[in-house]
Each structure stands twice: as C-alpha cells, then as structure tokens.
Structure 1
Amino acid sequence: MSRKKNENAPLASLLADEEVVSELQDKVESLQGMLEDLMESPTFRAGMDVLLQASDRERIDLLLDGKEGVPTGFASPEAIVLATGRPALLIRDGQWEEPELQVIKKRIEPATGYLRQAIPKVGRVELVNDPTLEYVGTGWMIEEDVMITNRHVANVFAYHANNQIVLRTTPFGVQLGVQVDFNEEYASPNPAFEVEVVDVVFIEKEGPERPDMALIRLEKVEGLPQPIELSSLHLQRNDDVAVIGYPAKDGGRNDPFIMQRIFKNIYNVKRLSPGRVTGVREDRFILTHDCTTLGGNSGSVVVNLKDGKAAGLHFAGSYKENNFAVTSETIKSKLADLYGRSVIQLSVSGTEERKPTLADLEIRKGYDPLFLGETVDFPEVDPAVVAPVNNREDGYLHYLHFSVVMHKSRRLALFTACNIDGRKLYKIPRRRDRWGLDPRMEEIYQVGNELYKNNPLDRGHMVRRLDPAWGDTREEAAQAADDTFFYTNAHPQHAQLNQRSWLDLEEYILDNAATHDLKVSVFTGPVFGLCDREYRDVLIPQEYWKVVVCINAFTGQLSATAYLLSQSGFMEDLEFVFGAYQTYQVPVQLVENRVGVGFGQLAMHDPLGMVEHRGHRVVNGPDDITI
C-alpha cells in the first residue's frame, strides 16, 4: 500500500510526528529492558529490529510504506508508539497520570485548566437492569440537563415508536433503566455520581450523511455538571486534541497483545487520550484523529486543546485504520436545524416548564372552523356518546390550535381537530413527557396512566406534538406542543406497531405545510369496533382514521383526503406480539360510514371519492397519495 493512502492512519500519523519519534529513539535503550518479558513474540522481535534501526527519516518512510526489510502486519512498534506517543491515561479524582513522553506532557500542560473542567462533564452511559450489558458508551453534557452521545449508543436502549422515542425492554418484559455515572474512575476516592436518564430527546436516523448522534435528558439533580461548549475554531490536520471517555476491552477487533501493553488490563474507566487531528473532510462533516480509543469510547468528547471546547463527538475507530468524530460544526448545524439555534431550547424565554392550569385551559380557543378561509366544521357525532365537559354544552375540550371530543363510555378521544399553519411553524424540542388528566372533565370519563403501566402500550398522540406547534411567537408554539400531553389526546397503541407509512403520511402533511406555507386542518380518531379487545377495563381500538383538509393550490377549492390504519394484527397478545399493518387512502364517505361521523360537504371535495366510490388505495409512501 502506498504512503499516500496510509498517511492518515494512526501509525503513519504517529511516525510522522517527528517530536514523538525523536524522543522514542532516545528512549529505545531503556524501553528494551521493559519489553524483555515480551520477546517471545516473533512479530515483536521483527518489529523491534526495524524500530532499533530506524535512525533516520528514510527508515521511518520504509516502515510506513511496508517496503523491503519491514515485515507486514507486525504490531510491536505500533504498541510502543501507541502506548507512549498516543497513550490512554488513567484519570483519578479528575487528574490524569503523567505521560511517559515529555513531548506529550508539554502538549497537554497548556490545556490543563481546560481539561480539568471538561473531565467531570463526561460520563459513562449505563444500563440499570440489563442482564448482559453494564454500560454502552460515553456521553458528555451539551446543555443544562442534556447529554450528547452516539446514535448507535442510544439505539441499544431506545427506539422510535408512535412518533416518540421509547425505552426498550429486557427479554423478560421489564423496561430498561438508563443512568450516567460521572465518577467511574480507576481507584477513585470519590463515590459514584449516578444520574437517571429521564428522556431520550433525539436519535438521528440512519444514513451515511446523517451524524451519528443522539441527545438524552438527565434528571436535574444537585451537582449536575455544566455543559461543554462547542468549539468555533476550525481544526486543521496536526492540531492537538484529546479524547475523554471510557474505553472497554475489545479483543474481537484489536490485538490483545497491544491492548495489554497500553491498558494493562484496566478497562471501563475514564481515560484521557491525547493525540492529533489526522484530517478533516472538505465539507467539515467529520474529522479523523489518532487518539487511542476502544469500543466504550463511542460518544466521547474530542477536546480542542487550543480552547478547551468540544471539537467533535467520537463515533468510530478501528485499530491500525482511523478514528472518526462528528465535527462541532456538524453538531451545531444539526441542533440549529432541530431547534432553530445551535444549543438546545430548554425553556421558552426563561419561563419554567409547567402544566397548564384550569384557568389557562378555560381561555383556550381550540380548533377554528374558519381557519382555511372556508368553513370546515367539527365532525358531526351522536351527542349521546359525547363525554360532558364542565361549564360547556357542546363537549369540546379546546387546547391551543386543536380540540378534542371524548367518548363517554370508551373514555378515549372520539376525534381530534387540529389547525396547522405552515407559515408559522417552529421546531420545538421535546421536553420530558408530563402527561396529565384534564381538570375540565370528570376523571370517570378519562383514562390515565393506569392503562399504560408495565406493558408495551404507548400513549399514542392523536394530535401530533409538532402539528399545533406554530404561532406568532416561539412561546405560543411551545405551549401548543405541551398541550398535546393530556391523556385526552392519548390512545393506547402497541409499542411494536410499525408506523412507518402512517408516520411518513403525517410527516408528509407537516413538511408540505411548512415548505409551501400551507394551512391545513386535520381530523384524527379511532374506529370503535364491536370486537375491540378489553384490557384493564378499556376497549382498545384496532384501527385509526385521519381526514386532511386544505385548499388545492391549482383549483383554489377545498380538498379532503381520508386515511385508515389498522393495528389489529398486534393485539392478540399484549406481552409478546409482532405483526403487520397497512395504511390505506380511502374515500371520506367510507370513514363516515365506518365510524359514524359526518363531515358535511367534505365528501364532495374528495378526489379519491370522485374516482372510486368503493375501495381503497394502499399507501406505502407519499407518492401513493391522491390529492
């Protein structure tokens, strides 16, 4: 392999570091005594012979190129360089052990203050009740109570379901607990500092051009570390950096001889690994570095030693190949895309997060029938089945930009009605879920958390959290999103329900509203069937419907489309179930007949109903939707 192709690999970058190589050559004689007990390895002998002869740059070039006289695949010189030139230093009580090479010590010393501030802000992400895994990676504080880690770390204990992120369960059906320990150090005099993970805020989707990152929210406890600031400096090749994280024994991918030399059989504790940047991709999406890392380092912070700030999020590494990190520029860009700014929006204009009071709710205006410029009334239902609302005769529970009508005997939403204004949408981050009963309605007409405890049922939003998240101000949008966390807006849906097409449909509606500055009204509800299964005194619907209404951009007239989702295949066993479902586009009239609601003149504005008076269309994605 040519020198050009190898120049960014760890060994190549290390041997190109002339200061390190020079000091190593001076120390070879003393190192021989230390390595005598390892001389039984044939590859070690061959490698040492090469290193001892490497007295000039030409010999180093030969070593890099793997040319004559240099055995291919030898590991020993790499062990020497990695252990001394790119060490993984144990951290005790916030202080790292002294490096063997003076040049490494000198590079770290100017950043001592920075590193001491960063070390307590890095924690080990642990599973509380998993029978097979103690911990899954590393994370570091990026906001007041938010930690950043890798997507592939978060995926071990959480996944996307029902438009939210939920924790996985053990093979015995017990929900995983997750915590972060900030004091997991070798022989540390300090006790563990374990903080519960209360919410998984964000997990990036899979994809080569998507950063391997996730955000988790920690319980706000006394002493919770402050965030590490993201660096604004543009790193270049050979800039000094250091990785702080928790390397784990990884014999499957790494030479055990080398690992023993570097880590001395001490794993799973906090270490500082100094090194250098070996490259930055042209678009600055990722950087590569030669710091010594192992599997447990996933999610580690890469600290820029010039300013002590986070230069990247380490996400992958391979012995003899390269180490990779998401750059601070990429992280900032992603946060800005998610939340409108480069740090996470924890609260709105400094106001504390709180549940709306009865007084707050009584002045909510809710769904507006004139929102589209033409009247689109609430669906008509039998008044006898509508649950009563205190001080109202119509049974409407109004929230910010949406309304809910409850079924009296089923104690679940009969339907929801939501206005979406694409011109005023905000990307509001998800805070810790705080579900509650609505104080405007007697509790006998509502289903609370008793239905969702210790089982795979999710609190499925009828009105999606982001749909009403619009307004003239961010405060208004955030309040609308928070209003979706009342149990009146929740329906029991199985956690294993594969909602890909349904979710694609909902995202399609919202994305188009935002992209084209559209106004959209959305009605959503269940199909209450005679064969619905009873569970904990609640009959659980097996199908859901959605009717979307907007003004057709070409005709200037109302357009109404209807959709149906079935989860009947999932409800045979609430403990261990897997099954299929399908999303369909159906005529509005079919929903009217199936559900027993009336949509007035909307059936006359249904393009599918005009073509097909019977039947349905399978929806596998937005391209299957008839508008």
Structure 2
Amino acid sequence: MSSFATKRLVDYLKLISEREGGLEALMPEPGVLENTDSPKVEQARAGLKKILVGNHDLNAGEQDGLEAIVVPGKRPAIDIVEGDFLIMDPLWRHLDADAALHAHIKACIPSIGRIELPGHPTAPYGGTGFVVGKGLLMTNRHVAGIFADGVGETGIRMKPGLRAGVDFRRERDQPAGQVLEVRRVRMVHPYWDMALLEVDGLPDAIKPLKLSLADTTADTKQDVVVIGYPAFDPRNARDVQDSTFGGVYGVKRLQPGWIHGRRETASFGKLVPAAAHDCSTLGGNSGSAVIDPRTGEVLALHFGGRYLTMNYGVPAFELARDGRVVSAGVNFAGTASGGTAPWSGWWDGESAVAAGNGATPPPASPNPAAAASASTGTVRAGGGEVTVEIPLQITVRLGIPAGAAVGAVEALAPDVADQTEKLVEPWHDGEYSNRRGYDPGFLGIAVPMPDARDPGKLAPVNGGGTELRYQNFSLRMHAARRIALVTAANVTAERALKEPERGRDYGRKVLGELTKSDQEKWFPDPRIDPAHQLSDAFFTRDGGMFDKGHIVRRDDVAWGATYDLLKRANGDTFHVTNCSPQVAGFNQSARGEDNWGDLENHVLSQASSERLCVFAGPVLTRADQVFIGVGGPRVKIRVQIPARFWKVIVARVEDGIASYGFVLEQDLTDLPPGEEEFIVPENFSRKMVPLFEIERAAGVVFAPEVREADQYADASGAELAMCAGVTQVSELPGVADHPAA
C-alpha cells in the first residue's frame, strides 16, 4: 500500500474520531457489526492496531478493512422514505431522538430534489437542487453546465436538444414523483460553484429553505447533515459504497457528519475559501444542501470533495454578501448584507462572457497558482470556459485494389493551380529561431510533453530532434502518415494576454492580414521534409468533404504579452503540420453534443488555476481507411484517415496536477468495403478513458507525473464524466486487433 494512500486514510480516521476521543474509539468490537464479514472486521482491527503504535505499513487487506468497516459506520447514509427518516446508528441517534433536531431536518426534506435530465444520452440525472425562493432552485454551476451555456445573469442559453427538470421525491423503493420543468437558468455565478434555476409549477407545500447568515469559519466539529441524491462513484471502493449506501444509488439520502470551518479548495480555475465537511457524499450529491440541524438553515451548498479527505460547499454566509444573489430573490434567514462582495471583479466581465467573446476576469485577490509562469502567456476564455479544438473523426469507404500502397502517387488530369489562385496565406513570421514552443512549466509544476512510443516513426526536424516549436504550442509529426502524432498547447484564460493592447483589432482576418474575400491558404513548415507534410491542396481539393481543422485551435493559442506575439501565434496555427481533415461545424457548441467544447470548462470547475495544458492527437492504426486526395498539381495521393482522436487535459489542483483523458470515436468495424464513399456520421461517441489506454491505442507515452495524476479511477473523473455527458470506459475496443501505425 502506498505511503500516500495510508497517510490519507490515517488523516481521515483522525478527523472523524476527534470528538470521540481519537483513533482508539474506532476499534471495531467483535459481534457489533453482525452483517459484516468477519475477515473485514479482523483486517480493520489489525490495521488500526498498527496505526495506534505508529506503524503505517498497511497491507491491502488492512486498508480495505478500515475503509469498509470504519467509514460506513462513522459516516453513514440514511434512507429518506415518505419524507421522513429513522436513525439507529448510536453516533447519530440524537439527530432522530431529539424532537427539535428531527423536526428541523424533516422540514427541509420536501424542498430538496433531484435534477433530472430527460432524454440525455448518458446521464439520467445531473445532481441535486433545493428551493431557495419563489420558483427558484439552487444547484451547482457545474450541474447547470450539463444543460446550459453561459455565465452571469444574461445570455445564458439551454443547450440544443437538452432539457432539465426536478423531482422532489425519488426515494428508495418508492415511485418517482412529478418532474417539474426547469424553465430557464436565472444565474450562473462567475466566482462560486452556484447556479439558480427557475422552475415551473412549484407547489405551495414546497417551501424555500433559509440560507444561514452564520459564518462557518470557526464553527468546527458541529453536526451537519447533507440531503441529496448520491450516485455510485467508480472512483471509490465498491464494497465501501455498497456498505454505506446499501447498493442503491440515486435516491434521497440523509448523510450526517461534522463541519470543519473553512478550507481552500479548487473551483473553476481558482482557490476558494469553502465550507468544509466530512459527510459521506458521492457524485450525485452535487448541489445538495448542507444543513445545520440546530436551526434547519442551509449552511452551505455542497459542490465537491475528495474521497477520504474532505468535502466542500459554497458558504451561504458568502452568498449573503453578494448583492446580485440577494436581488435574485434568494431566501436568507434574516437580512442579508448584499452589496459589493470581494469577488465583484468576476461580475465585471459578465457581459463579455455571456456573449462568448471575452475572457474571465481575474479574482479580486491574486491567485498564486495562476500567477506562476506569468510571462509565458494565455488563451481565450468565456466565463472561465476555455475551448480547445481537436479534429473530428471521419470515415471513408473506398474500394482500393489489394496491395495498393498508401501514399502512392498517381497522375491526376485536372491542374489544381487554378483552384488555389484565390487562396492567401495568413501573415506568419518566417524567422523560427525565436519560437519557444510548449512550456512544460506553464502550470507552475512540471507537465512534460508526451512522446512517441516508437520515436523512429517521427519526422526529424532540421537541426535535430523531433519537436516542432511554435508560439505557445509544439507538435511531433508522424513521418509516414503526414499528420501530427501528438500536440501540446498551453491554454489559459487571462484577459491581459488575450487582449494585451486595448483598442487593437484581434479579429482572425486582421491578425492574418487578409481581406474579407480572402480564403486562408495553409503553408508548409520549412523545418521538416515536405514529404512528411500534407499540402494545402489536399484539404482544398477534397470535394467539400473536409474542413481544414486546427489540431491546436487558433483561438486557444493566440495570446501573448504583446500584440506582435499574439499575431505570431495566430499565424503559426496555419502550418499544414497543425492541420487535419475535419467535419465542418465541429467544436461549435451550438451544433449539439458531438463536440469537445465543454470538456475544458468541466475540468476547470475542479481546478485551482485557470491555466491548462492540453495534449491532443489522432489514434493512427494500420487499419485506418483510405481517402484519395490531391497532393499537388496533377498529383493525387492515398491518405489513411484516423477514425479516433484523443485529448488529455491537465489542470493544476491544490495538491499538484490532475489529468483527464478522452477519446472521440466511431465504430467502423461493420462498414463493408465498396465504392468510394465519404461518410459523415450523425453521432460520435465521446469517452473518458485511462491514460494508459490512450498510450496503448495511439502509440504515445505520457510522462510519469502526468500518468500518475490520471483522474479516471481515483479522483474527480467520475463526476466530471457525468456532468460532461461522457461515458467512462476502461478499454477501447479493437485496439489489440488494430495496432498503432
């Protein structure tokens, strides 16, 4: 068992036992846990004995036993049935036996509901919400982000084809209740992980809860209860969850614990002073009410946490200091101060954010994590949202004579020169000695660029090495396939670097020195052999089948400390080395769900800095199908087109980095051979996968620190996948049958 895992468990056990006299009080007695396998009890006892004498060298069984016995016993999840609850656990029995405490908790239950997502392709529900005003429901910003776009109070739009509702019942072994429709999103807070939803038809019997005006800073080790809808979380041990939740998820639960004052945690690209608690929450608890049983008031809005560490909520006391929240009609337990809050600077950029053309404003106080490597620059944002493009998969069915060589050159009758006369190369800096490329220290902690598993397949760069360095990004080319095998980009959301000189025009045409009628002509990179690059003609003379798609998105890396640096970065993205065939409209969130545009925003919801490192590339296999295209004047070529693309997003969190891996794919195994036919599928499958699976499929290698920070199984990946509508899979089909090219 790793020393880190043991230390985390020991720290958590100390935390939940402080009020009972320490770790000795956790020792399970024989016969007490009648429904628990005796080996687990014995393992837990053996592990605890070691800890008590200072020996933290636990084996896997002892670790599992402690988690399976102690955690469910000390931080249970209690069924809510018919709007009431019964607590038999001796540690929490007083919450039931004390008539006043029971009444306060029970009165809150009807006002807390499950956020439903009717028709959503992957997630039946998104989290929890509770009534806070007339027709007003409070939940998390990251929950609202599942079905709505925008930040602030204006310009928030429901995503095409998605709806949301709330069911205030959803109890264990009980029929579902009526789903009331979310009419619109009233507010998405730019600083706190909070959103307000307007709900139609709220019955008079469902009363708004009162948000507390009490500051939780010093109120430690006091009882609180979380009421919400915990979902199964593959991040955590199944036996612990099944023991705590009885193997039933997505139903209304009462989860007691203690509050632990304030602690800083990551949230939407910054560290926020959250209310800390230790209740046994899971992913579906996002948006749950953290309630003080002494008053029945909401102390905090739960928004996240880390297993065996701590959970976090937006303090109600802080929301009471925000005049916009107060004016929205939120119900407080007294007169809220309102006014101008310390984070008011985040509201200043609301109009630009809502319109999608501005960067998220900086916090009121400097963010040390975001300040790191400030000289290296930033990219575009929209309300904390940063989008990074990756090529959409396409498919080709093409009858090719057996044995025909991929890349074979043949005569093509029409001359393509006349087709490209109106194309103009965007302005670009031809002096490459000043390019620094991707910065591995961009997050203030080392995040090395991935490499190829077989470096011999990479195109060599004049002067040595295989890394092509551009302004704010780098890439490595697959020599035979003539496409970037891996790209690495520095992405951030600092307005000062997105618009370094106010009053200048940062439009795409202006930066490229193009007229309105000019079409962009992509150009080769002189630092590598032309034989390792696809020409602009391949993308221009494709019969309208492809767009010229930026692998590293222009708008993401067009930043700099000066206008000239930004302009240089803009031009660098038009090298054909950064180009890949791409279906028109990809990464336009308004077109629907088959894009990657929201993933970065979801990752930022759990990050402590607005900066990201984004790696992306195609999954190149020997089985990729072939497209006949133009390679130049009177030349046609056969090019294999990748059927999958991958992306890895790395964010800074309070204790290091977190990485998330995704794959966009279409199953091509059932496509019959036949005549030449380009197929644009209606739906693509977005998946979250472990980083080692991307390595295996794509023939790339991530640095150990990036691989070890993978959140797929043991951190924040499960909730992110649910919120982003991404399916988690541990293995990509067909990889073994179709090895990397």
Q: TM-score, normalised by structure 2?
A: 0.42
Larger-Rg structure: 1
Ranked by relative contact order (alpha carbons within 8 Å, sequence separation 6 or more), the top structure is 2
